[in-house]
Chains A and B, each alone.
Chain A
Amino acid sequence: MKRTRRRSYSVFIFALLFIIGMFVFIFRWFSDGRSWANMPYNGHYAATGIADGGTITDCYGELLAYSSDGERVYNGREDVRKATLHMVGDTSTNISTSIQSIYRSSISGYNILFGASSFGKLLSNTNMQLTIDSAACATAYNALSGRNGAVVVYNYKTGELLCSVSTPTYDPASPPEISSDDTSYDGVYLDKTLSGLYPPGSTFKIVTLCAALENIPDVEDMTFYCNGSTDIDGHKVTCMDSHGELTLKEAFSHSCNIAFAELSCKLGKETLEKYADSLGITTSYKVNGNPTAKGNFDLDKAIKAEVAWAGIGQYTDEVCPMNMAILSAGVARGGSTIIPHTVKNTSLIDLSAVMSSKSLIKPSTAAKIKDMMRSTVSDYYGDWSFPSLTVCAKTGTAETGNNDEAHGWITGFTLDDDCPLAFACVVENGGLGFYSAGNVVSQTLETIAENMRNGN
C-alpha cells in the first residue's frame, strides 16, 4: 500500500496543473474581462445597444451623446456631430476605435464584479468625460470644408487630446446607407488620425534634420546651393523653387529639397532608417488602447536618388498623422514626448496609461530643431497667420504619385505657456501644405486657445 500511495502522487500533477490553469483563467478574467465583455456581438448590450447608456461630454461639459427614452441622442449641432463622429462613435458601433465602441460595456453599465447584470448598472458610473474640445473639432471640420483629411491637436503638457477630426464623416444622428461603390465615403469608418497613412512630404525633413544635426559634423555651418534641380547618378531631384545659396536653417525653413537630398545622401540608408525608427515614424503608439498605424520607411531596395527622395518625405515613405503630432510634441517638450489620451480622469480608465512619456530626441538636438521650426513660421510664412499664438511648424506638400493634387501637411506646436499645443494636419489633395493644412490648423488653434483662455 505504501508503494501505491507514493506512486499515486502522479495524479497530483494533473490536479496541480488544473489549479494553475484555473488561476490563469481567474487572473485573465479580472485583468481582461472588461475587454472580453466589450465585444460587439455581446448579447447583453446588443439587445438595447448603448441606447440606455451613460452620457459622453467634452472637456467643457458639452453633451456629445446621451440616452433618452431608450434612444441615443447626439449633440444638437450637426457640425459638432460630424466632427466628433470618429471620437464619439455612432449607435451601431461602426467606428471600432471610437469611445462608444471601446468603452461600450462601461457606458452600458458593465462592472467587473457584477458583470452585465442589471445590478451592476445601478452601481456603475456610466458617464464619461472626454478631453476633446468639441467646438474646436467643429472649427476644424468646417475649415476642411468638405475636403478629406485628418486633424490632431493635443496639449503637450498634459497629453489631453483636444481636437481629433477625420473626414469623410457622417451624421451619427442619421447614419447614411453607404453602398460599396460610393467612393465619396471611402474610409469613412476609419479614424484617419489613428489609422491613416500619408506620404509625409517635407514634414519628414524634421527627421532628416535631426539625423544631420547628430551625424554630420559642422552641418550648421554648411551652405547649400539650389538651382531648382540636381542630378544624382543620372536621376533628377527637383525643388519647388530655385533657392540659390542657403544655410541649413534657411534650407529647412524654405524647405529646400536640393539641400535635404544632399544631406540624405550623406547620411545614407542605415542612418535615415535608424532615425525614422527612433523618432517614432514606424512605431505603433497606443492612444486610448487603439494602435496608431505604423508608418513606412524602408530603404532596403532604394538606389541613391531614391534615398534622396526618401529623405525629403517622398519615395515610399508613409506616416500616420498621430505619430507626426507625437513627434512635434517631442520637439516641443525638449526631446521627450507624451502619448495623448482622450478620456478625462474618471474611474473608468487605467491611470498608468494616462501619463506615458517617451524619450525621442536628445535635448540639445531638440532645441536646435525647435529653433528652426520657429524660424519657418516667423521668417518664412509670417506670424500673422496665427494671431494669438507663437507657433513653430513644418509644412509639407506630398506628391501622391498620380496626377492628383498633392496632400497638404503641417505639423508643429505652440510656444505659449497657457496654450501648449502640438498638432498635425493633412488635407488630402489640398495642394500647398501651408495654404491648406496650415489654414485648417490656424483656425482650430485659435478656437482652442480662445476656449482655454476663457475657460469657456
Chain B
Amino acid sequence: MDSIIEFITDYGVFALRVAAALLTVLTVVKCFYSMRIQKRGKKPLISLHNTITDETVPVYYWENSLGRSRGSDIYIADSTVSRDHAVLLRRNEGWFISDTGSKAGVFVNNKRCQGRTQIFLNDVITLGATQFEVKKGESSHQSVSEKDTAPHKKAMRPFVLLLLMLFSLLMFFTQAAFASDGFMPEAFVVYGAFSAVVISVFAFTRGFLKRASFELETLGLLFSGMGVSLLIRQNLRQAYVQLICVVLGVILFLVIIRLLEYPDKLLKMRMYAMGAAVVLLAINLVFGTVRSGAQNWIQIGSITVQPSELVKVIFIFVSAATLDVLQTNRNLTEFIVFSAICIGALFIMSDFGTALIFFATFLIISIIRSGDYKTVILALVAAFFGAMIILCFKPYIAQRFAAWGNVWQNYDDAAYQQARVLTYSASGGLFGVGVGNGFLKYIFASESDLVFGLLCEESGLIVAVTVALSLAALVFYTREITTLSRSSFYSISACCAAGLLIIQASLNVFGATDILPLTGVTLPFISLGGSSMISCWGLLAFIKAADERTYKKLSRKHIVQVAES
C-alpha cells in the first residue's frame, strides 16, 4: 500500500515538474510574442515639405536630428546646413525645434530661435538655405500601406498572461510544499502572499494607470516568484524577506517610470544623482563590512544593504540624455570621471564582479552615446593593465583563474563550488528533482552566486535555460523598440539597462558553470538578495519606459490639435 502511495506521489510530483517547465516556457514565449506583435508600425508622425525642392520628408521618430551628416534622421544636402544642425522633437505639448549649435542658425517663421521653440502646422522652418513647411504625417507622398501600420494579429491579453504566470508559479510553490522531506503548508501561504502582490500590481497598472501592456512585469514577477519558491525549503524567513524586496522593487519600478515621464526636467537632476551615487559609495567604503572577500555591505540594525546595487540604477540614469542635449554636448569627460569613481570604489571594496559589470556597461554607454570607438579602445587597454595589477596584488583572484577550466582536478578545494554546480545541474535532468529536493542548497552561496545551478537541479534544464535565454531576448526586444521610444533618453538608458542585466547574468551563469571564472554576482530577479532584487526592478523600469505604450498614449487627433492650435 505504502509503495502505491509513494508511486503516485512520485508520478504526481513529476507531473508538476513537467507542467512547471512547460508553463514557464509558454508564459515566456507568449510574453515576447505579445511584445513583438504590438509594436507600432512605421508611420510618419508629421512631415516636412521642402519648399525649394518640393520634396516631402516624412518624420518618423519622437526625436529627429536634422543636418548634413549622413547619419542624420533627416538628411539635408545643403552646404549651408551644419552637419548636426538641429533636433526636431515631439513632446506631450506638441512639436519643438532646437538648434544644436549650428553655424547658420534655425529660423521659425523668419524669427531666429533660441533653445527649444514650439512649432505648429504650416510653420516655416529655415535652416541655412533650406526651407521646410510643417505638414501632417498623412500628406506625405510616400504611401503607407495599412499592413505596416496596424498590428494585424491580436496580442495576448494582459490578463491571460497574468493567469499563465500565476499558474506557472503555482507549480513551483506546490513542488516546494510537497518536497521529499515532508509536506510544508507554509509554501502555499507564501504563494498566496506573492499572488496578492502580483494581482495588486496588475490592478494598479491596468486599472489605475491604464497601461496597455503588462509583459515586462509578467516576466519580472515570474522570475522573482521562482526565486522566492527556491528559498522556501532553504530558509522560510528569507523567502518572506525576498518577497518584501520584490514589493520594494516593484514600487521602485513604478516610481522610476513615473519620474522618467518628463526626461527634459529629469536631466537637470543628473548632477544630484551622480553626487548621491558617490556619497553612497563613500559611505560604503567607510562603514562597509566585509563578506566573503568583498567589502560591499552596509549594516543598519538588522538590515544589510548593498549600495553598489543601487548605484547601478543611477549609473544607467546618468548615462542617457535627450537627442538635443547629446548633440550640443558631445563631451563624455564628465561621465568618464563618474564611471572611473564608481569602478575605482568597487575595486577598493574588492567587489571585482560588480566592477566588471560597470566597466562593460560603461563600454556600451560610450559607444551608444558618442559612437566614439577611440574611447572604448583606450578603456579596454586601461582595463587590461588594471587587471594585470589586480592579479599582482590580489593573489586570490588569480587562484580563481587557476581553478577555471580545471574543475575536476580541484573539486575539493579551489573549484569546490563550480564542481557542485555542474554535478547537481546534471543531476536535475530536463525537469529537475523538484523544488526543495536538491542538494546544492547545502552549498555556500547556492541561492545567490550559484543559483543557476540550483535552478537546474531543482527545476531542470528547461526552466533554467528558458530563464537565461529570456534575459538575452530582453536585450533584443529592447533594441527593437529603441527607435520607437519617446526620446533617445529612453533608447539609450533602456539598451544600457538591458546590457547591464545580460552582462550580470553572463558572469553569474558562466561563472558558476566554469565557462568563465567565478566572480560572485547575482542572477537578475532569481538570486537571493534584497538590494539586487530592488536594483533589477529599477533597471527594468528603464526598459519599460522606453516602450512607447507605457505612457498614456496620445491620440493622433490630439497631436494634430496641439499642432494646429
Chain A residues close to B by CB (< 8 Å):
1-12, 14-15, 17-19, 21-22, 24-26, 28-29, 32-34, 36-37, 39, 41-44, 110-120, 122
Chain B residues with Cβ below 8 Å from A4 are: 323, 368, 482-483, 488, 491-492
Q: From residue B538, how far is it (CB to closest CB) to chain A in Å? A: 18
B85 at the interface (CB under 8 A from A): no
Given the complex of chains A and B, what is the CA–CA distance between A39 and B429 in angstroms? 16
User: What's the least CB distance linking A35 to chain B, in Å?
Assistant: 8
Instruction: Contact check, B469 vs A11: say whether CB atoms are below 8 A apart.
Output: no
- Does B432 sit within 8 A of A, measured CB to CB? yes
Q: Is the CB of B506 within 8 A of A21?
A: yes
Q: Is B346 an interface residue (CB 8 A)?
A: no
B281 within 8 A of A: no
Contact at B506–A14, with CB atoms within 8 Å?
yes
> How far apart are the CA atoms of A7 and B479 in the complex, in Å?
10
User: Shortest CB–CB separation between residue A396 and chain B, in angstroms?
Assistant: 35
**How far apart are B87's CB and chain A's nearest CB, in angstroms?**
10
Question: Do A117 and B442 touch across chains, with their CB atoms under 8 A apart?
Answer: no
Nearest chain A residue, comparing its CB with the CB of B75: A2
Interface residues of B toward A: which range?
35 or more
Offer 27 A-B interface pairs, CB within 8 angstroms, sorted by A.
Answer: A1-B482, A1-B483, A2-B71, A2-B483, A4-B482, A4-B492, A7-B367, A8-B492, A10-B363, A11-B368, A11-B475, A17-B506, A18-B505, A18-B506, A18-B509, A21-B509, A25-B515, A32-B426, A36-B425, A39-B419, A41-B420, A42-B424, A42-B427, A43-B424, A111-B429, A115-B432, A119-B10
Which B residues lie within 8 Å of A120 (CB)? 429
In the assembly, what is the distance between CA of A303 and CA of B62, in Å?
87
Contacting pair B71 A29 (CB below 8 A): no
CB < 8 Å A-B pair total:
170
Q: How far is the CA of A1 from the CA of B369 in the complex (A)?
A: 11
Chain A minimum-CB-distance residue to B484: A1
Decide if B472 touches A19 in the complex (CB within 8 Å).
yes
Do residues B428 and A21 form an inter-chain contact, with CB atoms below 8 A? no
Knowing A22-B465, A22-B469, A43-B439 touch, does A8 contact B509 (C-beta < 8 A)? Answer: no
Q: In the complex, A43 Cα to B476 Cα: how many Å?
A: 39
Instruction: Give Cα A118–Cα B10 distance, bound, in whole angstroms.
Output: 7
B429 touches A112 (CB 8 A): yes
B376 to A: closest C-beta gap in Å: 9
Instruction: Say if the beta carbon of B123 comes within 8 Å of chain A.
Output: no
Q: Check A115–B475 contact: CB distance below 8 A.
A: no
* Complex CA distance for A19 and B502, rounded to whole angstroms: 10
The CB with the most chain B CB atoms within 10 A, among A18, A34, A117, is that of A117
Question: Shortest CB–CB separation between residue A320 and chain B, in angstroms?
Answer: 21
A394, chain B: closest CB distance, angstroms? 37
Question: A14: which of B65, B482, B503 is its contact (CB, 8 Å)?
Answer: B503
A114 & B478 in contact (Cβ 8 Å cutoff):
no
Q: A1-B483, A7-B367, A120-B429 known; 17 other A-B pairs, CB under 8 Å?
A: A1-B62, A4-B492, A5-B482, A5-B483, A5-B491, A11-B475, A11-B479, A15-B472, A26-B465, A34-B426, A36-B426, A43-B424, A111-B429, A112-B429, A115-B433, A116-B429, A117-B432
Residues of chain B in range 24-70 having any CB-CB distance to chain A below 8 Å: 61-65
Give the distance to chain A from B494, nearest Cβ to Cβ, in Å. Answer: 9
Chain B residues with Cβ below 8 Å from A21 are 506, 509-510, 515-516
* Chain B nearest CB, measured from A363 CB (Å): 40
Give the distance in Å from the alpha carbon of A44 to the alpha carbon of B432 in the complex.
12
Residue numbers in B under 8 Å from A44 (CB-CB): 427, 433, 439
- Per the bound structure, the CA–CA distance linking A116 and B371 in Å amounts to 50
* Main SS class of interface, A: helix
- Is the pair A3, B371 in contact by a Cβ cutoff of 8 Å? yes
User: Are A115 and B426 in contact, with the CB atoms below 8 A?
Assistant: yes
| B468 at interface by CB-CB < 8 Å | yes
Within 8 A of A (CB), among B205-225: none
The docked-state distance in angstroms from the alpha carbon of A266 to that of B361 is 69
Q: How far is the CB of B309 from chain A (nearest CB, A)?
A: 19
**A18 x B423 contact (CB < 8 A):** no
Assembled-state Cα–Cα distance A112/B427 (Å): 8
Instruction: Knowing A36-B422, A42-B427, A117-B434 are in contact, say whether A9-B479 is a contact too (CB < 8 A).
Output: yes
Interface of chain B: mostly helix, strand, loop or mixed:
helix
B73 at the interface (CB under 8 A from A): yes
**Residue from A1, A5, A28 with most neighbouring chain B CB atoms (10 Å):** A1
The CA of A169 and the CA of B516, in the complex, are separated in Å by: 42
- Shortest distance between the CB of A342 and any CB in chain B (Å): 22
Asked whether any CB of chain A lies closer than 8 Å to the CB of B262, the reply is no
Report the separation of the CA atoms of residues A114 and B439 in the bound assembly, to the nearest whole angstrom: 16
Does chain A have a CB within 8 A of B411?
A: yes
- A113 vs B14: C-alpha distance in the bound complex, in angstroms? 13
Known contacts being A116-B427, A117-B429, is A3 close to B71, with CB within 8 Å?
yes
Chain B residues with CB under 8 A of A14: 360, 364, 475, 499, 502-503, 506
A117 touches B431 (CB 8 A): yes
In the complex, what distance in Å separates the CA atom of A252 from the CA atom of B63? Answer: 93
Give B397-432 as 1s and 0s: 1 = Cβ < 8 Å from A's Cβ atoms: 000000000000001100000011011111111111
Q: In the docked arrangement, what's the CA distance between A111 and B510, Å?
A: 24
Question: In the complex the two chains form, is B429's CB within 8 Å of A1's CB?
Answer: no
Q: A1-B63, A9-B479 are in contact. Are A39 and B423 (CB under 8 A)?
A: yes
> B502-527 CB contact bits vs A (8 Å, 1 = yes)?
11011001100101100000000000
Kindly report which residue of chain A lies nearest to residue B469, judged by CB atoms: A22
Q: Which residue of A lies closest to B15 (CB)?
A: A119
Q: Lowest 3 A-B CB distances belong to which pairs?
A: A115-B429, A43-B439, A33-B426
Is B460 within 8 A of A8, CB to CB?
A: no
Does any Cβ of A come within 8 Å of B495's Cβ? yes
Chain A nearest CB, measured from B51 CB (Å): 24
| Distance between B170 CB and nearest chain A CB, rounded to angstroms | 20
Question: Quick one: closest A residue to B372, CB to CB?
Answer: A7
B462 nearest CB across to chain A (Å) = 11
Task: Give the docked Cα–Cα distance between A13 and B529 (Å).
Answer: 28
B461 interface hit (Cβ, 8 Å)? yes
Say if the beta carbon of B498 comes within 8 Å of chain A. Answer: yes
Complex Cα spacing A6 to B11, Å = 51
CA of A114 to CA of B369, assembled, Å: 48
Rounded to whole angstroms, the CA-CA distance of A25 and B72 in the bound complex is 42
CB <8 Å contact, A1 and B323: yes
Q: Which of A2, A8, A19, A24 contacts B73 (CB 8 A)?
A: A2
The distance in angstroms between the C-alpha atoms of A120 and B430, with both chains bound, is: 11
Measured CB to CB, the closest approach of chain A to B244, in angstroms, equals 30
**Please, how many angstroms separate the alpha-carbon atoms of A185 and B34 in the complex?**
69
Within 8 A of A (CB), among B254-283: none
Residues of A with C-beta under 8 A to B485: 1
B19 to chain A, nearest CB (A): 14
B495 contacts which chain A residues (CB < 8 A)? Answer: 8, 11
Residue of B420, B426, B442, B495 contacting most chain A CB atoms (<10 Å): B426
Question: In the complex, which residues of chain A have a beta carbon less than 8 angstroms from the beta carbon of B423?
Answer: 36-37, 39, 41-42
Cβ of A11 and Cβ of B499 under 8 Å apart? yes
Residues of chain B within 8 A (CB-CB) of A17 are 506
Once bound together, how far apart are the Cα atoms of A34 and B411, in whole Å?
16
Residues of A within 8 A of B513 (CB): 25, 28
Nearest-CB distance from A245 to chain B (Å)? 56
In the complex, A5→B491 CA distance in Å?
Answer: 8
Are the C-beta atoms of B368 and A10 separated by less than 8 Å? yes
- Which residues of A have CB within 8 Å of B17? 117
Rounded to whole angstroms, the CA-CA distance of A135 and B519 in the bound complex is: 54
Most buried by B among A18, A42, A115: A115
Residues of A within 8 A of B432 (CB): 115, 117
| CA–CA, A122 and B513, complex, Å | 29
Chain B residues near A41 (CB-CB < 8 A): 411-412, 420, 423
**Central interface residue in A10, A19, A28, A33, by most chain B CB within 10 Å:** A10
- Measured CA separation A156–B22 after assembly (Å): 50
What residue in chain A is nearest B475 (Cβ atoms)?
A15
Query: For the complex, what is the distance from the CA of A58 to the CA of B516, rounded to whole Å?
Result: 44
Q: How far apart sit A24 and B472, CA to CA, in the bound complex (Å)?
A: 15
- Asked if residues B492 and A11 are in contact (CB atoms below 8 Å), the reply is no
Q: Within the complex, which residue of A7, A25, A115, A119 is in contact with B427, where a contact is CB–CB below 8 Å?
A: A115
| Complex Cα gap A11–B471 (Å) | 13
